[in-house]
Amino acid sequence: MTSLHRRCLLGERLSGEVLLDCHAHIGRHSDYVIPMNRPEELADEMRRLNIRGAFAFQFTGVTGGEVQYGNDVIAGACRRVPGRFLGLTMVNPLFERDVVPELERCHQLGFVGIKLITHYQGYPTDGPLLETICAYAHEHGMPVLNHAWGAPLEDWLRKYPRCQFITGHWDPAHGHLTRQYDNLWICTCLPISHKSFERGLREMRIDRVMWGSDMSDLQFGVGLGPILMARAEDDVKRRVIGLNMLELLATCGIPAPPAWDSDQ
Ligand SMILES: [Zn+2]
């Protein structure tokens, strides 16, 4: 049993470790209740667990609601809890004319990347607007987290090397591409089983796997547990729970959220 495995079983705060979450939501969902939907509540839970920061995006536009409203919710969260939430702009390519202006508007507001979920919004995963968005991210050296990348992913990885492509969810099918392209990152976001995670670590580049919680849809511990208790070295787990995302932030020139006062 490794030290992180033991600390997880004891329910200890992971003091002294770097935890960064690459997949978190803030706000309300139209379909069901989100009990912890205020940014301050989320930040309190992050402080309690020693999670330094998170890529944060809205729920509203996931199933086709107003993405501008949802992005404003995220901008507000970033203002209310400075330095903890790194906003990703959500766009809906079905509203084609709004896409680039919304990316520009949010870029001005300090958003650091882009979140896509066209699979739910009803836009094809190989639609032309997605390439426009990847080209935009390439131009600005930004991360783009997509719920599900479609068939053109490999072409785009090659064509847009300054765009950092993140799979929104655990995606072993695309894992092998991490061996060929530095700009592909695999999020551990659920569902993930122990064996699937351990197998994935063997097949993917371990410096390209990042923990994502899906907070506040799911609690932080749901996804952290299987990582901390996996049959893997602590150094590998450390990369997955935070150090890899630190590398991604540095690659994109995004300031990393600082350690909490209680962990210095
Ligand atoms: Zn999610």
**Span from the CA of 218 to the centroid of ligand 1 (angstroms):** 9
**Span from the CA of 23 to the centroid of ligand 1 (angstroms):** 6
**Span from the CA of 211 to the centroid of ligand 1 (angstroms):** 12
**Span from the CA of 111 to the centroid of ligand 1 (angstroms):** 18
pLDDT value at residue 43: 96
**Span from the CA of 260 to the centroid of ligand 1 (angstroms):** 25
**Span from the CA of 78 to the centroid of ligand 1 (angstroms):** 18
Q: What is the pLDDT along the chain (264 residues), one digit of tens a residue?
A: 779 999 999 999 999 999 999 999 998 887 888 888 899 999 999 999 999 999 999 999 888 789 999 999 999 999 999 999 999 999 999 999 999 999 999 999 999 999 999 989 999 999 999 999 999 999 999 999 999 999 999 999 999 999 999 999 999 899 999 999 999 999 999 867 778 888 888 889 999 999 999 998 889 999 999 999 999 999 999 999 999 999 999 999 999 999 998 775
**Span from the CA of 212 to the centroid of ligand 1 (angstroms):** 9
Q: Domain boundaries in the chain?
A: 3-9+18-256
Q: What is the CATH number of domain 3-9+18-256?
A: 3.20.20.140
Q: Rounded to whole angstroms, what are the CA distances from 31 to 61, 71, 117, 175?
A: 12, 18, 16, 31
**Span from the CA of 59 to the centroid of ligand 1 (angstroms):** 8
From edge to edge, which strands make up the β-sheet containing 113-116? 19-26, 51-58, 85-90, 113-116, 143-146, 164-167, 184-187, 209-210
DSSP letters for 6-61: HHHHTT---TTS-EEEEEEEES--SSS--SS-SHHHHHHHHHHHTEEEEEEEESGG
